[in-house]
Amino acid sequence: MSIFIKNGFLVSSSGTMPADVHIEDDRISNVGRDIGYDEADRVIDAAGMFLLPGGIDPHVHMHLPSPAGFSSDDFLSGSRAALYGGTTTLIDFVTPEKGEPMPHALEKQMREAEHSLTDYSFHVSPVEWRESIPGEIRECIRMGATSFKVYMAYKQTVGLGDEDLLRVMKAVGKAGGTVTVHCEEGDEIEKLRERFFLDGHTLPLYHLLSRPSHLEASAVKKAIELAAKAECPLYIVHVSAAESLEHIREARSRGQTVYAETCPQYLLLDNSKYTGPFEQTSPYVISPPLRTEADSDALWHALADGTIRTVGTDHCPFTAEQKRAGLEDFRKIPGGSGGVEHRLALLYTYGILTGRLNFNHLVNLCSSEPARIFGIYPRKGDISAGSDADIVIWNPEQAGIISAESHHMNCDINIYEGMAVRGSPEYVIKGGEVVIEKGVMTGQERRGNYLLRTIS
């Protein structure tokens, strides 16, 4: 099967140019002007549209277990929604049980993800320290999972104390991998949560008040210091606070390898969402919580100046009924929201069209840089000869309104409900096949592939 795309404007992380693209089977075979493949099996005229490398979301949680049940998108429904939004690769997480070898947990998650329509990979979480952990880390890297997620919060379940965190960082650094870290001071947060509840405060507002921004920033500072001591590359997930950015900038100015990610919710929503009754506010219970408008502005500036290198979604939706598990206790509200379908449209509308970003920034944040950091570039994240044929043909004129009634995520609530967006994928090509055409999924759903990542 060959596809010839003509008359488009190719957008990379470094520039924009008129270009034609020829695809042969699942790879890009040629890119240039007037390359003349009009006898391809299919010709797509992309006049007036932009050619983007398929999006890579480096932070999703499909079918995540919680006391309120699994997050409502599994790998099939979540990856379908991702494709509708122009994302063709997902990086999810492996969270072993206590005592379970990490390679065994990785194998289980690989089997569960076989229904994914996008390509996929994983960050693996050491949830405790054992003497076997260094060997397990090396085996996971051999299996293609080169990044390891640690939590400074959630100490009662998956979080690590400082000494074990340092041990993990040393082991990952020695093996050549990268540590990704959820930065919140878990012990202090648990004290606040307990105190608020015992004082009779049960509303979602107290989720916000129990996780203040300074407890994120101090954890960011600590994680940077530990990673420097361990000589380990560090990737800080879902940065939400302006104060955190100063620690990241300072570390990078010293030459330390520190990457930072944020999410659309922290750019576009603020903590006023926690004011109101339970049904109105519980959809916004996510961790870290939404911050102030000043924090959002600081994050936009950090995207523009390169302090923040990627935008993930932390996609982890729960239904309204699942959120009601915390009706009498904010601590029992499952934390998470959906967003994998909306990332590109939101950043295009509220980043590019407002002048906060340019199109090359968007491609870098949502595709090229995640591919580089996590060891799949230039197979992913680029439109060039030899790269995988994952291409989004972006229509800049298509307008819409985000709504739970029309989205493709398996959830009855949407934190971006009612927001206007402009621009959408006219076509999504995944592995050399057109999978989305003018807002409709085409043909038989083809399964994605597990990605063997390399040391970045």
Residue 456 maps to a domain: no
| Whether 356 and 237 share a structural domain | yes
What is the residue-wise DSSP string for 54-108? PEEES-B-TT---TT-S-S--HHHHHHHHHHTTEEEEEEEE-PPTT--HHHHHHH
Residue 378 maps to a domain: no
Helix (H) or strand (E) holding 166: helix 162-175
Residue 448 maps to a domain: no
| Whether 363 and 394 share a structural domain | no
| Whether 139 and 225 share a structural domain | yes
| Whether 292 and 390 share a structural domain | no
| pLDDT reading at 443 higher than 90 | no
Number of folded domains in the chain?
2
Tokens of 272: 């006023």
| Whether 297 and 364 share a structural domain | yes
pLDDT, residue 35, reads 84
* Residue 315: strand pairing partners: 60, 337
- Please, which pLDDT band fits residue 282 given cuts at 50, 70 and 90? very high
Domain-terminating residue out of 350, 373, 396? 373
| pLDDT, average across residues 34-55 | 91
pLDDT, residue 38, reads 66
CA atoms of 178 and 13, how far apart (whole Å) = 23
Contact assessment for residue 145 and residue 105, using Cβ atoms and an 8 Å cutoff: no
| Whether 39 and 135 share a structural domain | no
Domain-terminating residue out of 342, 373, 404? 373
| pLDDT, average across residues 392-398 | 97
- Please, which pLDDT band fits residue 120 given cuts at 50, 70 and 90? very high
| Whether 59 and 47 share a structural domain | no
| Whether 234 and 145 share a structural domain | yes
pLDDT, residue 238, reads 98
Tokens of 310: 């990627």
Domain-terminating residue out of 323, 353, 373? 373
Residue 13 maps to a domain: yes
Residue 85 maps to a domain: yes
* Residues of the domain holding 406: 2-52+385-441
Residue 451 maps to a domain: no
- Please, which pLDDT band fits residue 444 given cuts at 50, 70 and 90? confident
- CATH classification at residue 33: 2.30.40.10
| Whether 23 and 81 share a structural domain | no
| Whether 45 and 184 share a structural domain | no
- DSSP state at residue 394: E
Residue 455 maps to a domain: no
Residue 392 maps to a domain: yes
First CA to last CA distance, the chain: 32
CA atoms of 285 and 318, how far apart (whole Å) = 10
| Whether 427 and 346 share a structural domain | no
| Whether 121 and 12 share a structural domain | no
Phi, psi (rounded to 5 degrees) for 387: -75, 155
- CATH classification at residue 225: 3.20.20.140
